[in-house]
C-alpha cells in the first residue's frame, strides 16, 4: 500500500502529514486533544483499502513544529490549517472525520462552508462545550462517592496537580475515556503528546471535563442545520462525550445517521475496532456509490 509522509509549511511553521493508500476520495482525519496528535487514530489506516486515509499532527504536537507562542492556540488558526493542508496536498474532494476536539474543529470548519466535502464523520464529540461539561458533571455525580467528592474538593481549590485529584481523574478516564484494561501503544503515544504541549491546557484546561481554556464558550448548536453533507455520528455507550451529546448532533444535522458502540467509551475505534471500521467503512462506501 502506498505511503507518503512529509511536512507542509503553514504560516511559517511545519505541519507533518501521512497519506496511506492511493485510489478513491481521501478521508482526512482531525485528531482530538487539542494537542493529542494523530497516533491514536492509526487503526483507521485499515480504511485505506478503498480510499486514501490522511493523518496529520496539528501544529503544537506530535511530529509537527511546537512553537512557544500561546497566541497561536485558537480554533480559527486550526481551521486555516485545514485549508492550507488541503491546498498543499491537492485535496479538492474529501471525506472529513473529526474525533473529540477534532469534531469541534470539523464543525467549525463546516461553518465556513468549504467546498468539496463529500461526507462528514463526527466521532465522540458534541455541538457545544457547555453540553459536554454538563454531561461530564453528570457522569462524575454517578462515580463512587469518595471519587466525586475528591474531584469537587480539589476543583473548588483549583488544585489540579494534587496526587489525590489526579488519581480520581484517572478513575473517571477508566470508565469514560478508554475502558480497555491495557491501553494500545498508539494511545500511549497520544498521552505523551498531550504531556509535552501547552495546546491542551491553553484551549481546554487541566483535564477532559474541566474546560477553562479558550474553548469554554464554544457553541455551534444553533448552526448544525447548515451542515448539508451526508453525516455519520459515532459515540460510545460509556463515552465522556455522552450519547446525549451525540443525539444533539443527530437531531440538529439534517438526514444524519448515528451509531452507538455498546462496549466503548471515548475511543470506539480502539475499543471495538472491527465494528467501528465496518460501520464507518460502509458509510463511506455508500456515500461514494451515491456520488459516483
DSSP string for 165-234: HHHHHHHHHHHHT---SS--HHHHHHHHHHHT-SHHHHHT-SBTTB--STTTT-B-GGGGGG--S-EEEE
> How far is 20 from 5, CA to CA, in rounded Å?
9
Question: Is 229 part of any domain?
Answer: yes
| Active-site annotation holder among 100, 126, 264, 265 | 100
Burial class (CB in 10 A: 0-12, 13-18, 19+), 265: buried
Write down the catalytic residue from 95, 148, 176, 239.
239
Tell me, what's the pLDDT at 234? 98
Residue 132 pLDDT: 96
Which parts of the chain register pLDDT below 50?
Answer: none
Helix axes 163-176, 145-156, angle to 10 degrees: 130
64 within a domain of the structure (yes/no)? yes
Q: Order the strands of the 117-123 sheet from edge to edge.
A: 3-10, 13-20, 53-56, 27-30, 94-99, 117-123, 231-236, 257-261
Domain that holds residue 246: 3-128+185-205+212-291
Q: Which helix (H) or strand (E) holds 45?
A: none
Cα-based angle 29, 284, 185 (whole degrees, multiple of 5): 40
Active-site annotation holder among 148, 176, 266, 269: 266
**Cell output for 291:** 456520488
**CA 236, CA 276: separation in Å to the nearest integer?**
10
What pLDDT, on a 0 to 100 scale, did the predictor assign at position 231?
98
| 143 inside domain | no
- The answer to whether position 157 is within a domain reads no
Residue 136 resides in a domain: no
What residue has cell string 478516564? 173
Q: Does 100 qualify as catalytic in the annotation?
A: yes
The total number of structural domains in the chain stands at: 1
Q: C-alpha grid cell for residue 88? A: 498543499
> In this structure, is residue 97 part of a structural domain?
yes
Q: Does a structural domain hold residue 258?
A: yes
**pTM of the complete model:** 0.97
CATH code, domain with 117 = 3.40.50.1820
The reply to whether 251 falls in a domain is: yes
- Residue 292: its pLDDT value, please? 59
Amino acid at each position: 500500500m502506498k505511503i507518503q509522509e512529509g511536512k507542509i509549511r503553514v504560516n511559517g511553521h511545519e505541519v507533518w502529514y501521512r497519506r496511506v493508500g492511493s485510489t478513491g476520495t481521501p478521508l482526512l482525519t482531525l485528531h482530538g486533544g487539542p494537542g493529542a496528535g494523530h497516533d491514536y487514530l492509526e487503526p483507521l489506516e485499515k480504511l485505506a483499502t478503498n480510499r486514501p486515509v490522511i493523518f496529520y499532527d496539528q501544529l503544537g504536537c506530535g511530529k509537527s513544529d511546537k512553537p512557544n507562542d500561546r497566541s497561536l492556540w485558537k480554533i480559527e488558526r486550526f481551521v486555516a490549517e485545514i485549508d492550507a493542508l488541503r491546498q498543499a496536498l491537492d485535496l479538492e474532494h474529501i471525506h472529513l472525520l473529526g474525533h473529540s476536539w477534532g469534531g469541534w474543529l470539523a464543525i467549525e470548519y463546516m461553518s465556513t462552508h468549504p467546498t468539496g466535502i463529500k461526507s462528514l464523520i463526527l466521532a465522540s464529540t458534541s455541538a457545544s462545550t457547555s453540553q459536554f461539561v454538563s454531561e461530564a458533571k453528570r457522569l462524575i455525580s454517578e462515580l463512587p462517592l469518595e471519587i466525586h467528592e475528591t474531584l469537587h474538593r480539589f476543583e473548588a481549590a483549583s488544585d489540579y496537580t494534587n496526587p489525590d485529584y489526579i488519581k480520581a481523574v484517572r478513575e473517571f478516564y477508566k470508565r469514560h475515556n478508554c475502558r480497555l484494561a491495557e491501553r494500545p501503544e498508539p494511545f500511549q503515544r497520544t498521552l505523551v503528546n498531550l504531556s509535552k504541549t501547552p495546546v491542551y491546557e491553553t484551549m481546554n484546561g487541566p483535564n477532559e471535563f474541566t474546560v477553562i481554556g479558550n474553548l469554554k464558550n464554544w457553541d455551534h448548536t444553533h448552526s448544525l442545520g447548515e451542515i448539508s453533507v451526508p453525516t455519520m455520528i459515532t459515540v460510545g455507550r460509556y463515552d465522556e462525550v455522552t450519547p446525549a451529546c451525540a443525539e444533539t448532533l443527530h437531531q440538529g444535522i439534517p438526514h444524519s445517521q448515528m451509531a452507538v458502540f455498546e462496549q466503548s467509551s471515548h475511543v470506539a475505534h480502539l475499543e471495538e475496532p472491527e465494528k467501528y471500521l465496518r460501520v464507518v467503512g460502509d458509510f463511506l462506501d455508500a456515500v461514494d456509490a451515491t456520488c459516483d
